Amino acid sequence: MKLSKLLMVVVVSVLVTTVSHAADSASVSGKITFDGKPPKQKKIPTDADPKCAEMHADSPLLNEEVVVNADGTLKNVFVYVKSGLEGKTYDTPKTPVELTQTGCHYVPHVFGMMVKQPLEIINSDDTLHNIHAMPAKSKEFNVGQPNKDMKTVRTFAEPEIMVHFKCDVHPWMSAYVGVMTNPFYSVSGDDGAFSLKGLPAGEYQVAAWHEKYGEQVQKIKVGDGEAKTLDFKFSKPAE
């Protein structure tokens, strides 16, 4: 059932041709949609730390596990090239990726970075946060940030989909990072869209990962300078 749907999506996906012939200029983009009645985001009680409760006196903190946008698209889906780039190496960007703890939650909730790329963790709250990363392949770390505006820089040595962050002081806090060996990844935002740009021509497996609904994989072939679209559809698993 699901498979045939996926197949249909692939079949009807529209081919957008481009005239560019430059190398590594293909792109894949698309939307992540959510099928079915969107689950409601639950309020998180933040009384455990008065500082957090203070910050959310007016606007309660909402659970970000499943965020369905108003247009029925799904937010926080990590889309990446799962295979097809074997043997290629990419430089690690020197610019750090930022992960901020603000209002006792993580921003962004889902993001991507490359192996050995610096990850700058910022505490914007006037309370103690500890950033506890639990990778299976790289080294586990757990750093306490007692002061406001503290910054800590860490890296991951091995690729991994996905690494979970938690805060042991505030157990509701949670974030995920996809640690990649290539720069082709994207996270769906408020419009549910993603795009992977600058791909070399080739045949790829593109995967979409969601923290609750798991991972979907589709195959796609792009030529030089070609821009293709690829859509993913998630739904609540039957219980």
Partner 1 sequence: MRNQPETLHEYNIPRLHWWFLLSGFVFLLSLVLMIWVDYSGGYAPWLALHGDREWKNYQHQFYTLDMKRLADDAKAAEVKANEAGLARMQDDLEKTNGELSGKKAEETKLQAAVDQARVEDDLITRQFTMEKAMRDQDRSLYEEALERDNMNTDVPEVRESKNKAEKQNDFVSKLDLLKQQADAKLQATKDNQTVLMGHEVELQHNIKRLDDGIKLLTTRYKQLDSSLVQGVVNAPVIEFAAGTIKVEQIIADKHHTDVNFATVPRVDRCIMCHKGIDRKDPTPEDRDWRAKHKIEVIEWSRQPQPLRNHPQMDLFVGDTSPHPATTYGCTVCHWGWDRETTFSRSGHTPEAEEKQPYILDASTKQWVKAPKSEDDEDDDTKAQKVVVSKTNVVEMTQKEVWQKNHNWEEEEFLMQPMRSAKYVQASCLKCHNAQTNLKGGEKLDHGRRLIEQLGCWSCHKMKQMETYTTHHVAAGEDFEGLCKFYDVNADDVRRLNGFPQEVSLTIGQEVNIPIRTLRKPGPSLYKVASKTNKEWMRKWLDNPVAFRPNTYMPRFWGLDNNAGTPDRNAVEINAIAEYLFAVSDQPKYPVPPVQGDAENGKKLVGQLGCMGCHVIDEKLMDVKVPASLKQYMDDWQYRRLRSQGPQLAGVGSKAGGNWLYAWLKDPKQYHPRTKMPNLRLGDQEAADVATYLAGLHNEKTDQETLPEAKGELLDKETIEYLQVTLPMEEARKKINNLDDLIELYFVDEETMKYYQDPARLAREETQLKALQKEFEETFDDAVDRKAKKLAAQIEQVKVKIQAAKQTVAGMQFTDKKNVYLGSKLIFRYGCYACHDIHGFETAKPIGTELSEWGSKPVDKLDFGLVDIEKGRLSWLKQKLHAPRSFDRGRIDVTRMPQELLRMGKFNLTDEQIDQIVTVVSGMTDEKLTPNEARQLTPAEFQIERGRWTVKELNCIGCHIVEAQGGAVRATGIATGMEPPLLSGTPTQLHQGQRTQPDWLFQFIKAPQTGQIRPWLHVRMPTFGLTDGEANVLVKYFALQGEAQFPYQSPKIDMTPEHLAAGKQLFEQLKCALCHIVDGKALGKPLAEIPEEDLPRLAPNLSQAHLRLQRDWLVNKWLVEPLAQQPGTRMPQFEYGTAIAPNILGGDGRKQIEALVDYVLTLGTHEQVAEVVPAPAPVAAPTQPQAQP
To partner 1, the closest distance from the beta carbon of 131 in angstroms equals 8
What single letter denotes the amino acid at residue 70?
A: A
Q: 3-class SS at 9?
A: helix
To partner 1, the closest distance from the beta carbon of 126 in angstroms equals 10
**DSSP class of residue 104?**
T
Who contacts 174 (Cβ-Cβ below 8 Å, separation ≥6)?
64, 65, 106, 109, 164, 165, 166
Structure tokens given for 194: 């993603």
CB nearer to partner 1: pick between 145 and 216: 145
- How far is it, in rounded angstroms, from Cα 58 to Cα 62? 12
- Binding residue for partner 1, selected from 9, 29, 41, 49, defined by CB under 8 A: 49
Find tokens 């995920």 and name the residue: 176
CB nearer to partner 1: pick between 97 and 128: 128
Number of residues that bind partner 1 (CB under 8 A): 22
What single letter denotes the amino acid at residue 150?
A: M
Measured in residues, the chain has a length of 239
**124-183 residues near partner 1, rule: CB under 8 A:** 127-128, 130-132, 134, 140-144, 146-147, 150, 152, 168-171
To partner 1, the closest distance from the beta carbon of 176 in angstroms equals 16
To partner 1, the closest distance from the beta carbon of 89 in angstroms equals 19
End-to-end CA distance of the chain: 16
To partner 1, the closest distance from the beta carbon of 11 in angstroms equals 36
Binding interface with partner 1 (CB under 8 A)? 48-50, 127-128, 130-132, 134, 140-144, 146-147, 150, 152, 168-171
